Amino acid sequence: MRYKSVTNKGTNLYYVYICPSHATDPASCPKKYIHEAQLKEILWDTLQREIALAGNMERLVREYGRSKGAVSQEQTLEREAIAAQQAYDRASRLHDSLFQNYADNLMTEREYMEMKRQYRADIERAKQRLEDVKQRRQSAERQTAKNPWLTSFRRYREESELMEEMAHALIERVEVDADNRVSITLRFRDEYRELLLLLTEAGKAVPA
């Protein structure tokens, strides 16, 4: 859709979104235009419902965050992260000290090369463990109030009307068909569905 201003015999100014395909070839698309005021009303109504839903779900998410399962998960990830970091630091220190030990004739060249390969392998394993914990923590974070869907819609909780910034931040796509039906694709659908699944499995009654 593209934006165009129209005057009504020079007395009234209003705005419409027109279909570029219709403008160039009316036979290719029967939909000519939709009034901006009508479209904004539909978009604002949709976003208001989504913002209210986010507020209700945030309360449930915070309740879940205090549950035994959520606390236990966070503690487990914290322990794993500490252990992986300690393993990485230890392997790095031992690897860095090898050459000096070899230079001081504390080991043979064969021992030096063998231990060097071993410590490098230990470092790589520890790095992989750290990356794995990082990914799992990021996934776990999407099950908290830091979920991108929650944080994005929470940001506009106090707004009283549709603003351009809000529309760009929360709406991915808007389509209008020939019968004036408006289809709205909101952003962060995957994050919303992930949160919905979590709460449903936790036995929380998620508002419709």
206: nearest Cα among 63, 96, 101, 66: 63
3-class secondary structure, 29: coil
Q: Where are the domains of the chain?
A: 2-201
Residues 6+ apart with CB under 8 A from 98: 107, 112, 115, 116, 119
pLDDT confidence of residue 93? 92
- What is the pLDDT, as a whole number, of residue 149? 95
Per-residue pLDDT of the chain (208 residues; tens, 9 = 90+): 545 555 556 566 677 777 766 666 666 666 667 888 889 999 999 999 999 999 999 999 998 888 888 888 889 999 999 999 999 999 999 999 898 888 888 888 899 899 999 999 999 999 999 999 999 888 888 888 899 999 999 999 999 999 999 999 999 999 888 777 899 999 999 999 989 888 888 777 676 6
Question: How many C-beta atoms surround the C-beta of residue 201 within 10 A?
Answer: 8
Q: What is the DSSP string of 159-202?
A: --S--HHHHHHHEEEEEE-TT--EEEEES-HHHHHHHHHHHHHT
Query: Using CA atoms, how far apart are residues 99 and 55, in angstroms rounded to an integer?
Result: 59
